[in-house]
Amino acid sequence: MTEGIRRLRIAVVDAFTDEPLTGNAAGVVPEAEGLTDDQRRAIARELAVSETAFLTESDRADRRIRYYTPTTEVDLCGHATIASHAHLFDRGTIDAGSHTLETNVGTLEVDVTEEGVVWMSQDEPIVERVELDYDRVAAALEIDPATLADVGKDLPFAVASTGLPFLVVPVNFLAPLGGADPDLGAIEALCEEVGVTGLYAFSFDTLEADSTLHGRMFAPLAGVSEDPVTGTASGAVGAYLREFDAFEEIPEEMVFEQGHFLDRPGEVRVRVGETIRIGGRAVEALSGTISAPEGEDDEIVEA
């Protein structure tokens, strides 16, 4: 081994699916002790998936997790949390049951069933209506404003968060949602203006009969033009649906489908109770090792 080079075990795990190469891919570095921020960023760039999770020991919880996109650190990531715990469970590192996880937004509870379904608790929900012009939002998504104004009579634009804030945009039917071709610069400007991580557009018109809604999520501010299947946004939208009485009685468990227009279909299970929880399966698509120069002074970020 070259002197000064550290080899780390890595995996790419597809979350919110049980079929490899579908759902949302997350990088997982299960033994990330001692890595610098620069090393984490460089590894995330090399893996080039939307988020990579770095797991270490914790004094406050069973383990500590940090999440990096190819360009920046984010405070919370649902699909990378699901992927990480599914990976640890499949490798025999953890057993089925309840586990605690220290994140940048606090300590969360993660449950793994005997069947390998991972459930992640979300932070306390915050939902606030925002006043935005239909024409402006429609132009950012490049869809007809009528598709927003129609459903907007009952469901408003809002910022919703269960750990990360998202701009929630209801769309009347699946066809315009699927045909959206966003202007990412305009999406970024909207997100900056209302202080959110990304824009989540959804319709109750779905591809699968048992799905509650179909969603698409755009987060150019985080370096992600479109995320295939988004856990934290699904938690936020679950809170949004409850806040604005989208159902006479909110279902005990909802299924949010996403990713089909990126050829990465997946589904997020959402439970809205005393706490909001998101859940799903995950499957390993790739495993191996990655090399990283050791020490803070290495030029890894310049490569």
Max intra-chain CA distance, the chain: 64
For residue 140, the one-letter residue type is A
CA distance 209 to 285: 28
Whether 51 is a known active-site residue: answer yes
Q: Is 97 left (phi over 0), alpha (psi -120 to 50) or beta?
A: left
Q: How many CA atoms lie within 13 A of 230 on its CB side?
A: 34
Of 31, 33, 46, 51, which is the active-site residue? 51
Answer for the pair 104, 88: CB distance below 8 angstroms, yes or no: no
* Beta-bridge mates of residue 129: 158
Question: Phi, psi (5° rounding) for residue 216?
Answer: -135, 140
Radius of gyration for the alpha carbons in the chain, expressed in angstroms and rounded: 19
* Beta-bridge mates of residue 160: 127, 166
Q: Which residues are catalytic?
A: 51
